[in-house]
Copies of this chain bind each other. A is one copy, B any other.
Amino acid sequence: MLKYSRQRESIKNFLMSRCDHPTAEVIYRSLRKDFPNISLGTVYRNLALLTELGEIQTISTGEGPDRFDGNVAPHYHFQCRGCGALMDLQMQSLEHINLLAQHEFSGEIDGHSVFFYGRCRDCISREKLDTNQMRKVIDRTDKKCYKIRNDS
């Protein structure tokens, strides 16, 4: 039987308030403001539990620690080769690639995971700066944190 816990609720709320897919460590450091005695193990345990319940998503990037996503609506991710930032992509579903993969395959394909790589806008700006001998930044647009809707 699942019992309520303030720590778990707080972890979920924190994740839903962010779009940068924080690590367990980042969540831990933030939650210590509200729960000075919370332990990293509690964070990991609840992240695993919430993932099992389907309330959040665990994202394994294959480089460094896992990232966590409060948005369980299907969507794809981009990771910047420059700064490592992980961000959501607004794009259609790629269901059709399952059929392409199935075509010459003897097993049963029922899903896929896709990551896109490249440079984020900020790193592109920074590179231009570097090649221009650190010319001053004139206008620096802020990073947008858009939400992909869960319902619809």
Contacts and interface: CB of A to CB of B under 8 A. Distances in A.
Nearest to A89: B101
Interface string A105-135: 1111111111111111101100000000000
Nearest to A114: B114
A104 interface: yes
Contact of A114 (B63, B91, B97, B106): B97
B92 A78 contact: no
Nearest to A88: B105
Contacts of A103: 91
Contacts of A19: none
A72 interface: no
A152 interface: no
Place the interface of chain A in its size category.
35 or more
B94 A107 contact: no
A130 to B, nearest CB: 16
B80 A91 contact: no
A100 interface: yes
Contacts of A80: 107
Nearest to A97: B94
Nearest to A105: B89
A147 to B, nearest CB: 14
Interface of A: 60-63, 76, 78, 80, 89-92, 94, 97-98, 100-101, 103-121, 123-124
